[in-house]
Chain A
Amino acid sequence: MRFPIKYGGIVIFMVVIAVLVSFTMAEEKGWKTIPPHELRQMMTADRKPVLINTMSFLECADHSIPGSLCMPAEEFERHLPRLPAEKDRPLIFYCESEVSYKSCEAADEAMKKGYTRVMVLEGGLPSWKRAGYETESTERIPREAVQSLKSHVLRQWLKEKRDFLIVDIRPEKMFKERHIEGAVNIPMYQLHLRYRELPLNRLLILVDNRGFRTPLAASYLIRKGFEVKRLFGGMKKWEALTARDMTAGK
């Protein structure tokens, strides 16, 4: 039986489209992940990769992989000119979350700008540290003994209308999505610029996403003279508590 030519054209057209679409989809992800030991090897090679820490300046200065650039993910656009001109220079992005949300976001941006060898450190800085590799501190913030409050205690304090100010240090976007009533937002990447906006005569309760960033932020603020406590477990724990309250009908 002869294959009808009019259908043949449609089939070829669809195949071409499918191939193009698959290429674009492959292009979209672009960057790869790199495990700590490979990065370590890469750092000793002739053509050294550019390491980019996407955390805030306070965190970068406190602890980073030696020789890293600090480019907070929230204002990555602004820092783009600091990236090297050669588009094929390896760029390694990392942050402090094991899911590497911030560094993935920045890696996407770098790909869009035409960088061809973009990588994200697998497991972020925690996995680097667990592997036993060194970090450097250019300006370390000695940790203070910061008292943490559990969510149910904060809820109780809110009920009692105690005098304190909740300072949410998450990025603006997350703050806008949901926050504890009455909280003010000073994102971590702006804290060193905007801490003067905070009152010195009120207790500050710092809130972050998971409770991992407030110890450093609180230590920084305490050294600046503020009275600070932090929410244990961050918004994740707070939301878990409020969700339980909802189901219990409280």
Chain B
Amino acid sequence: MTRGWRIAKYLSMSLIIAGALLLAFLQASGETARAKVADCLSCHDDYIFVRQFPQSAHGNNACTSCHKGIRNLERHMTGREKPAAVSCGDCHAEIAREYRQNFHNVELDFRCSDCHRDIHSFRADLKNKKRAVIEKCTECHGNDEYVASGHGEAVLKGNQDAAACSDCHGLHSTQVFHTSLEKYPAEAREFYNHKCKHCHADPALTKRNNLSADIVAYYEQTYHGKVQDIGYPTRVAGCADCHTFHNILPKDDPRSSIHPQNLVENCGRCHSGFHPRFVNYKAHPNYRDRKNYPSLFWTFIFMSGLLVFTFLFFWVHTLLWWRKTYWEKHRMEKFGIVPESTLSHEEGLQHVQRFSPRERLLHVLLVLSFFGLVMTGFPLKYHEAPWSKILISLWGGAHQAGLFHRAAALVLIAVFGYVALQAFRFIFPKGKGKEGWLKRLLGPDSLFPNLKDWEDMKGMFRWFFDRGEMPKFDRWTYWEKFDFLAVFWGMFAIGGSGLLLWKPEWSSYIFPGWILNIATLVHSEEALLAALFIFTVHFFNTHFIPNKFPMDRIIFTGTYRMEELQVQRPMEYERLVAENRLEPLKREHPGIPLKLASATFGLTSLLLGFLLTLLIFWAILS
């Protein structure tokens, strides 16, 4: 016999002996446990202990596994020694940890056995766990509404996806968000909204149950959803505010809170003073669904088209312009060419007024209100972006941000109203009335586009591609006219929709509720158009172009050098000279305080705009 065989023989023998010893030990301990159980059953001989307990989930335990602390059976039998309190957490440690924070423990001092009264006969029925939970909770919480609800009915029919009590309220972790403990309304709302979304945004679960998986996403695109997400949960409709807590039924069920007949009452729990057609508002519409939401769909298409075409044109325009200027600047640097002064030195330095003090003030107000609107509105538009919560908290929450938004809107409306009046007065001046209005409208001092603008634009494109000279501009360039007139469209779209949304209940006396959905979409998309247009196109055309970089102060100082007038707006210069109107426009060189203030305000605005652009792109791309 080899050495290897011997080792194998000893090893196998040792294993057999160890196995036999283990079996003997287990049998002995089993016998001890049985002997102990028999001891207990000799007195505690109720049917439940003798028959039901061995079949129960805990049936393989001895009585003393839970009822510990009896050292002397005789003393126990004579009532002098009682077992210690049962500590279920010795085995169920995780449940015990959860239960410590449970409402029933913290506020009501319920112990395990207060709910698990049937612990000696308890059998785990994992297939019908949800039904068992409902049966247990409704022993105390007789909730007819839940039992009659879609969830309750589905669970009782055996649907394991539908929510039982514990799916929303937790099983052993029931939160201290008690409905009568109005201490945590915000946390409770957040918690329960999350619970609803958890199932209703689950693609597999919703597909199995023939529900829309995107309904949560659609809700989050509405004002309610955005504000709720950003952390203003106390005053905006979460899931349960419309669908109620337990009486959750489909909208074609007359008992449902969202049944058309019940909507006025349902919306009326938060909103007041509205026309009944207010309830036509869609709480989670899909604006890509042409069949069910045609008006929203076409608005979305129109707004998207407007955005795409505007940016496509102006970004290409900007890029080509930048290329042309930069290449030209590079060539001049390379060959050491210094631009020649077109006028005599002294006269070229003379400052000429382009913007009156009133126009400059209007622009400052416009800048302030615009930033106010963007910084209060965009956190809501991009509520999912990581920066939105920080920005909204700077305003003191979504409610306060809303107030600032409205205040800024009032300033903008006032500025716009004044400018519109000025424009009207320009076309129909006092004393002249209608006489020659068309000439003024299409004349060189007007901001209204004319044929020359069309020619200028073509000329600019030719210049971009080195196929001609830069056009000679008059007082206003075509892109300046676009900036100016875009505000009129913008005020119609964004201002009009904003006014409708300002007090939506009042708007319902003019329009049905679904118009508010359109207003929200238009307001939001037009805001993106306006903000990005200003922060990219306007900023570039006016300030970032290589020969003006980093900024053109003229809108704040009001004047520029005669030489700049001559180069940038030669036709205006010629007209002013010919009409002898140049003299009254001559101004002093702006002082240091004005220049410093202009640079500070202007550069801050540019940097802020640049930062906001980055934030917007971050939100769009992530």
Task: Report how far A215 CA is from B180 CA in the complex, Å.
Answer: 15
Is there a chain B Cβ closer than 8 Å to A90's Cβ? no
Determine if B180 and A130 form an interchain contact, defined as CB atoms under 8 angstroms apart.
no
Tell me which of B85, B105, B115, B140 contacts A147 (CB under 8 A): B140
Is there a chain A Cβ closer than 8 Å to B114's Cβ? yes
Task: Report how far A234 CA is from B182 CA in the complex, Å.
Answer: 13
Query: Which of B106, B176, B178 has the largest number of chain A CB atoms within 10 A?
Result: B106
Residues of chain B contacted by A137 (CB below 8 angstroms): 85
Task: Report how far A62 CA is from B106 CA in the complex, Å.
Answer: 14
Main SS at interface, chain B: loop
Task: Report how far A163 CA is from B329 CA in the complex, Å.
Answer: 96
Residues of chain A contacted by B183 (CB below 8 angstroms): 98
Q: Please, what's the 1-or-0 string for B161-204, where 1 marks a CB less than 8 Å from any CB in chain A?
A: 00000000000000010111111000000000000000000000
Determine if B180 and A234 form an interchain contact, defined as CB atoms under 8 angstroms apart.
yes
Nearest CB in chain A to that of B265: its residue: A248
Q: Please, what's the 1-or-0 string for B81-120, where 1 marks a CB less than 8 Å from any CB in chain A?
A: 0000100000000000000110001111111011101000
Is there a chain A Cβ closer than 8 Å to B252's Cβ? no
Tell me which residues from 217 to 250 in chain A have a Cβ below 8 Å from any Cβ of chain B: 232-234, 236-237
Task: Report how far A130 CA is from B106 CA in the complex, Å.
Answer: 7
Determine if B110 and A143 form an interchain contact, defined as CB atoms under 8 angstroms apart.
yes
Q: Known interface pairs A96-B107, A212-B107, A216-B109. Does A129 touch B100 (Cβ–Cβ under 8 Å)?
A: yes
Nearest CB in chain A to that of B145: its residue: A150
Residues of chain A contacted by B142 (CB below 8 angstroms): 147-149
Determine if B109 and A236 form an interchain contact, defined as CB atoms under 8 angstroms apart.
no
Tell me which of B101, B111, B139, B181 contacts A145 (CB under 8 A): B139
Task: Report how far A234 CA is from B141 CA in the complex, Å.
Answer: 14
Nearest CB in chain B to that of A131: its residue: B100
Task: Report how far A211 CA is from B181 CA in the complex, Å.
Answer: 10
- How far does the Cβ of A123 sit from chain B's closest Cβ, in whole Å? 10
Nearest CB in chain A to that of B142: its residue: A147
- How far does the Cβ of B265 sit from chain A's closest Cβ, in whole Å? 9
Determine if B140 and A142 form an interchain contact, defined as CB atoms under 8 angstroms apart.
no
Nearest CB in chain A to that of B96: its residue: A132
Task: Report how far A75 CA is from B107 CA in the complex, Å.
Answer: 23
Determine if B109 and A135 form an interchain contact, defined as CB atoms under 8 angstroms apart.
yes
Tell me which residues from 50 to 100 in chain A have a Cβ below 8 Å from any Cβ of chain B: 62-63, 96, 98
Residues of chain B contacted by A145 (CB below 8 angstroms): 117, 139-140
Is there a chain B Cβ closer than 8 Å to A154's Cβ? no
Is there a chain B Cβ closer than 8 Å to A210's Cβ? yes
- How far does the Cβ of B191 sit from chain A's closest Cβ, in whole Å? 17
Residues of chain A contacted by B100 (CB below 8 angstroms): 129-130, 132
Is there a chain B Cβ closer than 8 Å to A126's Cβ? yes
Residues of chain B contacted by A210 (CB below 8 angstroms): 178, 180-181
Task: Report how far A89 CA is from B93 CA in the complex, Å.
Answer: 38
Tell me which of A96, A98, A142, A147 contacts B114 (CB under 8 A): A142
Task: Report how far A98 CA is from B178 CA in the complex, Å.
Answer: 13
Task: Report how far A237 CA is from B101 CA in the complex, Å.
Answer: 23
Query: Which of B114, B180, B181, B183 has the largest number of chain A CB atoms within 10 A?
Result: B180
Nearest CB in chain A to that of B180: its residue: A233
Residues of chain B contacted by A234 (CB below 8 angstroms): 180
The interface size of chain B toward A, counting residues with CB under 8 Å, comes to 25
Query: Which of B100, B114, B183 has the largest number of chain A CB atoms within 10 A?
Result: B114
Determine if A236 and B180 form an interchain contact, defined as CB atoms under 8 angstroms apart.
yes
Is there a chain B Cβ closer than 8 Å to A146's Cβ? yes
- How far does the Cβ of A232 sit from chain B's closest Cβ, in whole Å? 8
Task: Report how far A83 CA is from B490 CA in the complex, Å.
Answer: 76
Task: Report how far A146 CA is from B117 CA in the complex, Å.
Answer: 13
Residues of chain A contacted by B101 (CB below 8 angstroms): 130
Q: Known interface pairs A129-B100, A132-B100, A142-B113. Does A212 touch B141 (Cβ–Cβ under 8 Å)?
A: no
Nearest CB in chain A to that of B114: its residue: A143
Tell me which residues from 193 to 225 in chain A have a Cβ below 8 Å from any Cβ of chain B: 210-212, 215-216
Task: Report how far A129 CA is from B110 CA in the complex, Å.
Answer: 12
Tell me which of A62, A98, A147, A148 contacts B109 (CB under 8 A): A62
Nearest CB in chain B to that of A237: its residue: B180
Task: Report how far A98 CA is from B113 CA in the complex, Å.
Answer: 25
- How far does the Cβ of B186 sit from chain A's closest Cβ, in whole Å? 16
- How far does the Cβ of A213 sit from chain B's closest Cβ, in whole Å? 9
- How far does the Cβ of A34 sit from chain B's closest Cβ, in whole Å? 19
Task: Report how far A234 CA is from B111 CA in the complex, Å.
Answer: 22
Q: Please, what's the 1-or-0 string for A95-135, where 1 marks a CB less than 8 Å from any CB in chain B?
A: 01010000000000000000000000000001001101001
- How far does the Cβ of A38 sit from chain B's closest Cβ, in whole Å? 20
Task: Report how far A232 CA is from B140 CA in the complex, Å.
Answer: 10
Task: Report how far A216 CA is from B106 CA in the complex, Å.
Answer: 13
- How far does the Cβ of A216 sit from chain B's closest Cβ, in whole Å? 7
Determine if B107 and A126 form an interchain contact, defined as CB atoms under 8 angstroms apart.
yes
- How far does the Cβ of A188 sit from chain B's closest Cβ, in whole Å? 14
- How far does the Cβ of A124 sit from chain B's closest Cβ, in whole Å? 10
Residues of chain B contacted by A212 (CB below 8 angstroms): 107-108, 180
Residues of chain B contacted by A211 (CB below 8 angstroms): 178, 180
Query: Which of B108, B176, B181 has the largest number of chain A CB atoms within 10 A?
Result: B108
Determine if A129 and B106 form an interchain contact, defined as CB atoms under 8 angstroms apart.
yes
Task: Report how far A140 CA is from B568 CA in the complex, Å.
Answer: 93
Task: Report how far A211 CA is from B140 CA in the complex, Å.
Answer: 13
Tell me which of A98, A146, A237 contacts B140 (CB under 8 A): A146
- How far does the Cβ of B605 sit from chain A's closest Cβ, in whole Å? 48
Nearest CB in chain A to that of B100: its residue: A132
Task: Report how far A215 CA is from B103 CA in the complex, Å.
Answer: 13
- How far does the Cβ of A61 sit from chain B's closest Cβ, in whole Å? 12
Nearest CB in chain A to that of B141: its residue: A148
Residues of chain A contacted by B110 (CB below 8 angstroms): 143, 215
Residues of chain B contacted by A98 (CB below 8 angstroms): 183
- How far does the Cβ of A150 sit from chain B's closest Cβ, in whole Å? 8
Residues of chain A contacted by B108 (CB below 8 angstroms): 143, 212, 215-216
Residues of chain A contacted by B180 (CB below 8 angstroms): 210-212, 232-234, 236-237
- How far does the Cβ of A43 sit from chain B's closest Cβ, in whole Å? 19
Task: Report how far A210 CA is from B183 CA in the complex, Å.
Answer: 12
Task: Report how far A149 CA is from B144 CA in the complex, Å.
Answer: 10
- How far does the Cβ of B63 sit from chain A's closest Cβ, in whole Å? 19
Task: Report how far A148 CA is from B145 CA in the complex, Å.
Answer: 13
- How far does the Cβ of B172 sit from chain A's closest Cβ, in whole Å? 15
Task: Report how far A63 CA is from B183 CA in the complex, Å.
Answer: 24
Query: Which of B101, B113, B181 has the largest number of chain A CB atoms within 10 A?
Result: B181
Task: Report how far A137 CA is from B181 CA in the complex, Å.
Answer: 26
Q: Known interface pairs A129-B100, A237-B179. Does A148 touch B140 (Cβ–Cβ under 8 Å)?
A: yes
Task: Report how far A215 CA is from B105 CA in the complex, Å.
Answer: 12
Query: Which of B105, B107, B115, B178 has the largest number of chain A CB atoms within 10 A?
Result: B107
Nearest CB in chain B to that of A146: its residue: B140
Task: Report how far A82 CA is from B139 CA in the complex, Å.
Answer: 41
Task: Report how far A143 CA is from B104 CA in the complex, Å.
Answer: 11
11 A–B pairs (Cβ distance < 8 Å), ordered by A: A96-B107, A126-B107, A129-B105, A129-B106, A129-B109, A130-B100, A142-B113, A146-B140, A147-B140, A233-B179, A237-B180
Which 4 A-B residue pairs are closest in the complex by CB-CB distance? A143-B114, A145-B139, A233-B180, A63-B109
Beyond contacts A143-B108, A146-B140: 9 other A-B pairs, Cβ-Cβ < 8 A, are: A96-B107, A137-B85, A148-B140, A149-B142, A210-B181, A211-B178, A216-B108, A232-B141, A237-B180
Q: Which residues of A contact B (CB under 8 A)?
A: 62-63, 96, 98, 126, 129-130, 132, 135, 137, 142-143, 145-149, 210-212, 215-216, 232-234, 236-237
